[in-house]
Amino acid sequence: MTPEPILAASGKNSLCINGGIIESVWAPGSFVDVVDARDAMRATALLARAGRMPMLSVMTDVEISAAARYEFAKSADVLAIAVLGSSAVDRVVAAATSRGTQYPHEFFTSRDDAVAWLSGFVDGPGGLAHDQPDATATAPRSR
């Protein structure tokens, strides 16, 4: 785990690395605009250190603007993303966010299931992610 979480999007987003996976936690009730998305992506790039890593994105009760969704879809630092939510609205937000991504994208209601899925994208005990050029985006589904 990174020693201290990185805060982005005016404190609405907290990011750290845990077991080779970037954990991105959005404050419940947040509205994410394009400026927030760009700031979160800069923090992700800092953590990924010019590589690509799997990400667990906790987005319970978070609203994302269309422009922010477009920015997130352009991320070059994410190898795969598991969105963790708890409601039908969270599932819809995850589905909308997955459009146009160039990496696998899944929705989960169980943290353990999400981490297990992402672990398939982590290489070795050191937790360094590896690129999987044949990976394609998939439609989000509940696990």
The tens digit of pLDDT for each residue in 75-94 reads 889 999 999 988 777 667 66
Handedness of CA 51, 53, 59, 64 (dihedral sign): positive
Give domain limits for the chain.
6-129
pLDDT reported for residue 102: 77
How far apart are the C-alpha atoms of 22 and 34, rounded to whole Å? 20
Residue whose structure tokens are 């400026």: 35
Nearest CA to 30 out of 1, 4, 68, 2 is that of 68
- pLDDT-derived band at 70 (thresholds 50, 70, 90) equals confident
> Could you read off the pLDDT of 14-60 as tens digits, one per residue?
999 999 999 999 999 999 999 999 999 999 999 999 799 999 999 98
Report field, pTM of the whole predicted structure over 0.95: no
Residue-level pLDDT at 99 = 63
Confirm if 83 and 106 have CB atoms less than 8 A apart: yes
What share of the chain in percent tops pLDDT 70?
75
| Residue 125: band (very low, low, confident or very high) from pLDDT cuts 50, 70, 90 | very low
- DSSP symbol at 99: T
DSSP H or E stretch at residue 14 = strand 13-18
Distance, first Cα to last Cα, the chain: 25
Q: What is the Cα–Cα distance from 105 to 99, expressed in whole angstroms? A: 9
Helices assigned H by DSSP within the chain: 34-48, 66-73, 88-98, 111-119
Domain 6-129 sits in CATH at 3.30.750.24
pLDDT band of residue 126 (cuts 50, 70, 90) is: very low
